[in-house]
Chain A
Amino acid sequence: MKLYLKIWRQKDASTPGKIVDYTLDGVEGDMSFLEMLDILNEELVSKGEEPVEFDHDCREGICGTCSLQINGEPHGPDRLVTTCQLHMRKFNDGDTIVIEPFRATAFPVIKDLIVDRSAFDRIQQAGGYISVNTSGNTIDANSIPINKHAADEAMDAATCIGCGACVAACKNASAMLFTSAKVSQFALLPQGQVEATERVQNMVRQMDLEGFGNCTNTGACEVECPKGISLTNIARMNREYLSATLKG
């Protein structure tokens, strides 16, 4: 199929970018979205032009590196997939596709479609850990009995790959879904109780410092999240923060 691409091109963080039009022929339905961009880049390189920079690593939906706002939605129109898992059969011959970087003040553009998502790393570093003795007398995790329901919910929260689609989709560029998933995966487990109070306070403080927006509970994040992280995690974070604040 033949596609009309409108792609955000930006030399570096300090140079203003713009949308550039490309026409790409010979795209197959079973290609992934990133393979489609690979083909475009091969054409550009053979013409001596600079290829379009985009983020990717595993190309199987587990690393969270790929991003892209595709026709106004993070990771494109399909649900529960990352951009690397998005098939071109979701598009039709002659379609126009607008491709932009994820937009948030806290995610500055590095080049073209690549944004700096290290704000997420700093949120994680602010409290996304537990204290365990690893000096030789580590306790087997299975020695602590854990309620099946809590274990499942913690596992679901832990499937967040930190891609940033929640921020990109949110009209407020809020990072609540990501942060709440990271809070929840520990808050639900006994190992996470030791730092529970400081964890939620520190992670929320870092989230605010990075300049993410507030939550209006629109639910856009949950719909666009490739891992189906649920809004119940945000409610849990709100509870955890409330009780942490009341405890002082």
Chain B
Amino acid sequence: MSLIKSSLARKYVMALSGLFLVTFLILHVTINLASVFSPDFFNEASHFMGYNPIVQFLMQPILIAGVIVHFVMGFVLEIQNKKARNVGYVKYKGSANAPWVSRNMIYSGLVILAFLALHFYDFWIHEMAYKYVEANPEDPTRYYHETVEKFAPFWRTILYVVSFVLLSLHLWHGFASSFQSMGANNKYTVGFTKFAKIFAVVVPLAFAFIALYHHLNPITH
């Protein structure tokens, strides 16, 4: 606990939880892409994730804990940072010395949090109800059409796409920043930062593509 009391330790927590969520994104986007290119594989993978006990009862709680730790720590840092300047400037030219994305991580983060609430409602609550409350039998073929149908409403598709833009902005700064927080700034940093920015664009773009694709290609019976 004394570790978390120091400013640097809080940064390590922020960076490690952020990096953990980044690795999760890679898995998530890979499986989702299958829903466009191979519905059968998508069904298989989703079924495996949904019924494998290690995924359900170990990895899923760790992931949820990771998200909670990350955004709660984000709020703690934000509150402390506001307290560190009790009288504000009359004129503060933040754009003169730092990029917008780096100064507004809390806002991109808040949009992602709101998105996660919707996303949980859309998929997770539905899954929990389907499996554990209604106690429906296993159906390894339902995932593809359920997913595609989710993206039928225009409003949901747009909310998802807008959230992915904010996710992109969050990662544009956050991915490389987490390495600096962990003390890694060396001859690889310039190259890695370029990679992190490409990642920050490509991965959210893939998510947005998937949502739009299903919206534009509904299953016709």
Contact = CB atoms under 8 A, between A and B. Distances in A.
B212 interface: no
Given A73-B96, A205-B6, A238-B8, A174 B84 contact: yes
Given A106-B84, A213-B81, A213-B85, A242 B90 contact: no
A104 B185 contact: no
Given A208-B7, A215-B7, A220-B94, A242 B183 contact: yes
Contact of B102 (A208, A218, A245): A218
B210 to A, nearest CB: 31
Interface string B44-83: 0000000000000000000000000000000001001101
Interface in B181-211: 181-185
Contact of A100 (B89, B97, B181): B89
A214 B7 contact: yes
B83 A217 contact: no
Interface in A200-220: 204-205, 207-208, 211-220
B1 to A, nearest CB: 13
Interface string A234-248: 111111111001000
B66 to A, nearest CB: 20
Which of A8, A213, A239 neighbours the largest number of chain B CB atoms within 10 Å of its CB?
A: A213
Interface stretch (A38-46, A152-160, A165-173): A165-173
A221 B93 CA distance: 13
B84 A73 contact: no
Interface residues of B, number: 39
B88 interface: yes
A19 interface: yes
B98 A218 contact: yes
28 contacts: A69-B92, A71-B91, A71-B93, A73-B96, A77-B96, A98-B90, A98-B91, A100-B91, A103-B87, A103-B88, A105-B86, A106-B84, A171-B103, A172-B85, A173-B81, A176-B7, A214-B77, A214-B81, A216-B77, A216-B102, A217-B177, A223-B98, A235-B183, A235-B184, A237-B183, A238-B11, A241-B8, A242-B8
Interface of B: 3, 5-12, 77, 80-81, 83-94, 96-99, 102-103, 105, 173, 177, 180-185
The 5 closest A-B pairs by CB, nearest first: A72-B93, A239-B183, A213-B84, A235-B185, A172-B81
